[in-house]
Amino acid sequence: MSNKVKLYLYIFLSLVFICVVYFFQTQVDETVTDVNLIHRRIETPIKFWMNGYLGHFFNFKYLGSINWLLIPLALFAFLKLKYFNQEWKKAIALAYILSLFLISVKGFFNARYQLTLLPITLSALLYFLWLYLEHQDLHTFKKFVLILIVGLVFSNDVFGLLFLRESSQSILQQDRQGLVERIVNYIDSIPAKIAYYENKSRTPAYPVIDFIRKDLPADAHFLVNNLPMLYYYSNKKGIYYWCGDDTYYSENGRSRIMENRSIDEMMLFIKDTLKCDYLLSTPSYNKYDPKFEEFTKAYCKPVFLDLGEFAVYKITREKGNYSIEPMAKVLSKRLSKGVPPFYVTPDDVE
């Protein structure tokens, strides 16, 4: 078999491989309703491995459609070219493998951790690809192959757009509701956002932090739902929590709030045991767990909402039917007209 035929065969097999991987990426389990799993595209066992533990090579949405090529190319360099025959090369390879293993096992849940290895992965991939072409004496095809690589990277964006449609039927139905309205509001708000960020040097780092500093009691204690700026920009105290994992850390180590508790029991635990008076979160973060969202609607009265969707809720003992939508509508009107302030409190709602 000639080198030219081999190259075409490899390219064909690579494209077939990508199509097979894409097929598994598009599989949807409509019985899963956990927003956290769906949005991270790890709701099926196969996707859990492909986009989770092995996400650095197969998570097309974030990390690229060609990273997996590093595996056969590196094996070729190791077995055929004996490339890793020097101590410094072995040390770099070992450091990369150990880092990849650690990040994959401990950081698989969020693609941003695996992104830290992306520059060295792409650089190594292109370098080993070049060595392979040199070894195969296929000089005339180098430009073609590199163009193909660029095309595969571009296809990653296409895959990303297609993957936006992946979710269970219930989540998909939610996303469709009010889609046009959200798009129109977003476009209308662009001038206001430009004005806001042009004047940001004269405004606090976060309007929500300014509200917390000036308008809340000095001893206010927060349940902080994955928003660490409270600690960066204020002297307020609170329990750092993430509802997506139902996890916070105390002197007893990793602890849960929702596990084995009803929403009524959650309120009592948060108020009486954790001593939290307020919740700092965003409406979108609340949706990462349906039970937590139910709790916020039952016991968390919104008292502030800003342009970044950062919201402060007063945790009450009185069960109700609280919603942040009235405040969101007022803010949307302000954004569409470009009229500050770009935040809302209950007093602004008619």
Average pLDDT, the chain: 81
- Assess whether pLDDT exceeds 60 at residue 176: no
Under DSSP, is residue 145 helix (H, G, I), strand (E, B) or coil?
helix
Beta-bridge partners for 311: 281, 305
Question: Which tokens belong to 314?
Answer: 């007063």
What are the extents of the domains in the chain? Answer: 3-167, 183-348
Q: Where are the beta strands (DSSP E) in the chain?
A: 221-225, 237-242, 247-250, 253-255, 278-281, 300-306, 311-315, 343-344
Among residues 171, 185, 213, 188, which one has the least CA distance to residue 328? 185
The answer for residues whose C-beta is within 8 angstroms of residue 24's C-beta and 6 or more apart is 46, 47, 50
Q: Which amino acid is at 117?
A: L
| DSSP per position, 183-245 | HHHHHHHHHHHHHHHHTGGGS-S-HHHHHHHHHS-TT-EEEEES-THHHHH---EEEEEETTT
Q: Are strands 278-281 and 300-306 parallel, antiparallel or unpaired?
A: unpaired
Rounded Cα gap, residues 322 and 302, in angstroms: 7
Rounded Cα gap, residues 233 and 209, in angstroms: 7
- HSE-CB at 349 with a 13 A cutoff on CA atoms is 17
Range with the largest mean pLDDT of 9-13, 105-109, 273-277, 345-349: 273-277
Read off the pLDDT of residues 57-77 as tens digits, 9 standing for 90 and up: 888 776 667 788 888 889 989
Read off the pLDDT of residues 6-55 as tens digits, 9 standing for 90 and up: 767 877 887 788 778 778 877 777 777 666 677 777 888 888 888 889 88
Q: Which amino acid is at 209?
A: I
Among residues 266, 265, 232, 228, which one has the least CA distance to residue 246? 266
Question: Which tokens belong to 198?
Answer: 């042009």
Rounded Cα gap, residues 311 and 305, in angstroms: 5
Angle between helices 3-25 and 142-163 (to 10 degrees): 10
The predicted pLDDT at position 170 comes to 41
- Assess whether pLDDT exceeds 90 at residue 275: yes
Q: What is the mean pLDDT of residues 313-323?
A: 95
Beta-bridge partners for 250: 253
The torsion angles phi and psi of 317, rounded to 5 degrees, stand at -90, -15
The predicted pLDDT at position 15 comes to 77
The predicted pLDDT at position 228 comes to 92
Read off the pLDDT of residues 76-123 as tens digits, 9 standing for 90 and up: 899 988 999 999 999 999 999 999 999 998 888 888 888 888 889 988
- Assess whether pLDDT exceeds 90 at residue 266: yes
- Assess whether pLDDT exceeds 50 at residue 3: yes
pTM of the model: 0.63
The predicted pLDDT at position 160 comes to 55
Among residues 25, 256, 281, which one has the least CA distance to residue 156? 25
Q: What percent of the chain has pLDDT over 90?
A: 35
